[in-house]
Amino acid sequence: MHHSDAPATREISVADKGAGPYGIAAGPDGALWLTFAHSGRIARLTLDGELTEYPLDSSECRPTVITPGPDGALWFTRSQDHRIGRVTADGETESFPVPTPGSGPFGITAGPDGAVWFTEMNTDRIGRITCKGEITEFVLPHTGAYPAAITAGPDGALWFTLNQANAIGRITVHGDIVIHPLPTPGAAPVGITSDGAALWFAEIAAGQIGRISVDGGIKEFPLPDRTAKPHAIVAASTGDCWFTEWGANRIGHITDSGEIAEYSLPSPSSEPHGITIGSDGALWVALETGGVARLEP
């Protein structure tokens, strides 16, 4: 349903169309941190709209997803040159090559073990990197699975989407892996988040939001528009998630009972990708066409 009592939304222009804001995360410094996928930069945006850009050592490295690390820095994937990047709160950057060539790292999250965990889209592996840059890789039991997003679960394990294997995976910090197939064929899950009790994920090809409990029970909730292409998802609290509809230029909200509300973004075709909760409690969304949207929930 489309609500008339839509949350107050404002849009901040942060880059020209060529930069491609993609990932967004709230940093330990209270600012928002963004990846500019097309221009190879990391940007820092304060709550009052002040922007600082940090160029990486390669404009072609395609920084993708970004997350606060356990060490007070931000960690991000460089999907084009197969490295994991790190940027400190004052903008110092470094990077670490993933051992398996052509890995295509994409999703990344702080783990419960003081390390950072990431997915390798191209090589069917889950990676773990320590704050010193030491990388361990765990091979998935599927080939061509295309692991995408990853998040720390409420059970002390890591949970991730398998975009092409049509499943949700779970890996313990010791590397034990369980795969949970999705009921809907060809759903192509991408984003995943923990609400503190269960995991919620976005099925980009099926136009559904899914919920998986830590024991593997799955529920799927169809969106009103099955072509909306839900992409990234973030939990505000238990049973309270927000997601981007990349194909429909909207932000969606879902509750535990599966009640869905949707809100249109101010600019047409702004290609919403990453979404996070800011230190101000508002929702912040990266728009690939060059902006950031802020929604007051």
Residues belonging to the binding site for substrate are: 231
Decide if 76 contacts 85 (C-beta within 8 A).
yes
Decide if 135 contacts 98 (C-beta within 8 A).
yes
Decide if 273 is catalytic: yes
Measured CA to CA in angstroms, residue 248 lies from 174, 223, 263 at distances of 40, 11, 10
- Cα angle 230-236-237, degrees, rounded to a multiple of 5: 120
Residue numbers belonging to the annotated binding site for Mg(2+): 271, 288
What is the distance between the alpha carbons of residues 153 and 160, in angstroms, rounded to a whole number? 9
Place of tokens 């990932």: 23
Residue numbers belonging to the annotated binding site: 231, 271, 288
Question: Considering only CA atoms, which of 33, 36, 32, 34 is closest in space to residue 20?
Answer: 36
Please state whether beta strands 147-152 and 135-139 pair in parallel, antiparallel, or not at all (unpaired).
Answer: unpaired
- CA dihedral 187→192→195→200, nearest 10 degrees, is 0
Beta bridge partners of 43: 34, 53
Q: Which residues are catalytic?
A: 273
